[in-house]
Amino acid sequence: MSTRQNDELAQERLIDLAAEFYDQFASGDIPHMDIPTRTKSNIVFDEESKVWVYGDRKSTRSANSVRGARKLLKAAYAIEFLVNQLEENRSSTLRELYYLSESWDNEEAQFNDQSESNQLIEDLEIVSHVTREDFHMRPEESGAKVMGPLHIREQTRRGDRDIHCQEDVGQGGYQIPNNPDTIEFLDNDAAFVLCVETGGMRDRLVENGFDEKHDALVVHLGGQPARATRRLTKRLHDELDLPVVVFTDGDPWSYRIYGSVAYGSIKSAHLSEYLATPEAKFIGIQPQDIVDYDLPTDPLSDSDVNALESELEDPRFMTDYWEEQIELQLDIDKKAEQQSLAARGLDFVTDTYLPDRLGEMGVL
């Protein structure tokens, strides 16, 4: 589907939502909008897509209360703004939408904070089945980048440009755009995709030439990965048939980073089939690595312990592998960062740890 067709579909879906409010008024019904309940208890595993999605439980935004009426009023104003934005072929950031609402003529329609406007955009995505990227809504820059043997064509407002993600970029790599679906894959010599949590580790891999030696596409996640990063990772797997492995710190918060890449997150479960790569494998740091390599560590905090215990009940981690690793971590009461591998030398991660792990996983 062309960019213009996407814009037209997004406009049509938004207008349909507004028309539904009008029809509810006209028929004497209290205006309302039903949205899947966004909680862990309403996450179910979809056997066909192999990702976690929202279940059947719904929450209702209804005008039968002052609070609910305000939410629907804000939705109506946001829909009008988004339709006009698409008509004018403009774009804006989530932060700008929050501030833009202060110029709306009805104070009740203005957002109290950015978390409220962000949630509304997510609500509109869910009920319209259109992504915010197709609303022309952008997050603040994530800074995520790619380095490796990939030749692409990127669509920009100034025309198309061809880029090789090793030869045509500096040490920083190619910055992932807000909407990776505007990228056309021209050619590649990649063997696999290595998603890396921290910038320091990403820089170590590039400096040591890991991407060149092993034909790796190194994707910097930048902490909890942005949707654009997850979408590009999924496309690299699905369209180029590249294995995906995720390399993070060895703590419960980093395991959730892996979980969001592989299975999606609770917040964006409505987009799991669009963003998640269920075939992605976790490469480390594993709790077993902490033991085997005697890595420098920090003790688990109370919040770490609570998070690990929560993950034992999280459907994304209900496998023998994760149960074994999490139980081990609770037993040793330790966590470790990616950079702790430097205790064995700056080249250990690229010359020994990653090649050994990738070999065990059948990637190298």
Determine the residue type at 258.
Y
CA 113 to chain centroid, in Å, comes to 22
Could you tell me which residues come within 8 angstroms of residue 248 by beta carbon, excluding any fewer than 6 positions away?
A: 196, 197, 221, 254, 255, 257, 258, 282, 284, 285, 338
The answer to the question of whether 113 is labelled as a binding residue is: no
* Cβ atoms 173, 147 nearer than 8 A: yes
Would you name the residues annotated as active-site residues? 99
* Cβ atoms 287, 325 nearer than 8 A: yes
Residue 64, both tokens: 């039968």
* Cβ atoms 192, 217 nearer than 8 A: yes
Distance between CA atoms of 258 and 279, rounded to whole angstroms?
11
CA angle (176, 179, 182) in 5-degree steps: 95
* Cβ atoms 6, 38 nearer than 8 A: no
The answer to the question of whether 347 is labelled as a binding residue is: no
Q: How many residues does the chain have?
A: 364
Residue positions in the annotated binding site for Mg(2+)? 197, 249
Residue positions in the annotated binding site? 197, 249
